[in-house]
Structure 1
Amino acid sequence: MNTVASIPARQETVTRPRPVERVLRGQATSDGAGVKLTRVLTQDLQKRLDPFLMLDNFGTDNPEDYIGGFPDHPHRGFETITYMISGRMRHRDSAGNEGLLQNGGVQWMTAGRGVVHSELPEQEEGSMEGFQLWLNLPARNKMVAPWYKDIQSDAIPEVAPAQGVKARVIAGRSHGVQGAMQREVTEPLYLDIHFDGAGEFRQSIAPGANAFVYVYRGQVEVGGKPVELHRMAILANDADADGVVIEARGPARALLIAGMPLHEPIAQYGPFVMNTKEELMAAFSDYQAGKFV
């Protein structure tokens, strides 16, 4: 059973909620060995949603859509955060790390100066659903040593600010409860909010942070604006706003993700994210020379 704070130590105070700037629908695509997914945060949104580079939502009951998984592939310059809603995926990487990602668990990997990893299904039938978020690293940390952590479902704290409303605190802090992960510089907030029925969830957001909400069950209202299933609502950077209010009229689930922007150049080609073209070329050269861990 997860650690649930049924009476939070501190209620979130939101006096002026951020309005919704725009609502977007993700793009259907595939990755890895043909895994079908929806790319929610696309490359053209990277500057607007800095420090986040990508958000993919994979979900299907058809094994043909996921059975190939994500075979060996490299990364450099950022962090990958994989959150599994249902299913089982085995992680292995060139730094010698191995872990099993399963229902409700999170895999947090810092690619740093370079790592090769795979994520392969450990099931041949049933539902597989989850998310992968890419979090940029500041220039000074892009060449750190690779790092990896498996966070099992029961290690993710939960807060229950109202009857029938709870949030899993993957990163950051909510209602006085510290999440499973903390990060300096980008200070990510990553919440999975569940509504059993009609209800309201309030969350403070640091001034200057970029933030968005993604609905993956039902529908919600964000700042009074309807956000339907499989839509992302980008929250406006209103200087006077201090948080967000998410309301549901029935069962719903949504991710709330926020972070402090790096305001640094982004140079990306596929699985490498650096600050300059020259650094990208060096990444390719190092990978081809077998210099990744």
Structure 2
Amino acid sequence: MTAPTRQYQIRDLLLQLAPTEGYTVSPIESVRWLRSNRPLDSTPVLYEPGIVFVCQGRKRGFIGDRTLVYDARHYLVVAVPVPFTMETDASEEAPLLAAYLRLDPALAAEVALAIDYSGIAREDTLPGPAAPLGLEASPMDDRIEGSLLRFLEAMVDPVETAVLGPALLRELYFRVLCGAQGATLRSVLGERGHLGRIALALKRIHADYAERLDVSRLAREAGLGLAAFHAHFKAVTQTTPMQYLKSTRLHRARLLMLHKGMTAAAAADRVGYESASQFSREFRRLFGRTPQVEVARLKASFAIPEQDDEAFVSSH
């Protein structure tokens, strides 16, 4: 089967799985489908760890001086939650269609361990001394595309979803973990190297973002000296620990206003701001709009899916 044929089949399956605009949940908790009939202008986002397959349309991410493109020929792997800016291409005639796999840590770790024991993860496939970015777009290869097609074919049938879905999801994880970003993901899952240590600090920030966090403590918990911690944190996230904490609080507050109906003042207090006016200033600086205007814009664009309170901030 040729690559264009597979792409058409994948597109047609996602049209079935995502029949209406917005996010559609699947019977597998960590998987959801996206359909958007309109483009999304430049928007600051903070993706939770996962894998994004855009099967029609295009997304562009801007982080530092880099541009990441993920479309029918490129998939995105988010090893750790990293703030960046995103825009999308979509229309009524050619809606953006995507499958999003929120990383299942237990499943990913199980598959990664099996890969390591098998000897697939040779030394030359492991990350070097310099920590890679926490997210990266990679070319879609035939094996990953074939696994994605088989997974989607099963997901349109309730019986196949129940019987085959988990095994086919495991196969898809295996393909990604053996692919271009597999070594990066395995470093995070195994808490190895500088990326794995920074991932620990990010988990702490996301767990305790509303509290007063001390950078020296984060560095100690990551097993790094303060200078090394700052350097590796910046290499992975393209920002400083305190800037990252501020971004996390603001993204979380945006979700609370969008999905919980909180006022700006209430959301500011919930995420750890002592001053509502400071919150409003920093919110506008990050998002370019007041809280009220930004929330109204997102409601009109289906930009952010519903999330559990404990989930990482997400804006796929």
* TM-score normalized with structure 1 length: 0.39
User: Which has the larger share of strand?
Assistant: 1
* TM-score normalized with structure 2 length: 0.37
Larger Rg: 2
User: Which has the larger share of helix?
Assistant: 2
* Greater length-normalized contact order (CA 8 Å, ≥ 6 residues apart): 1
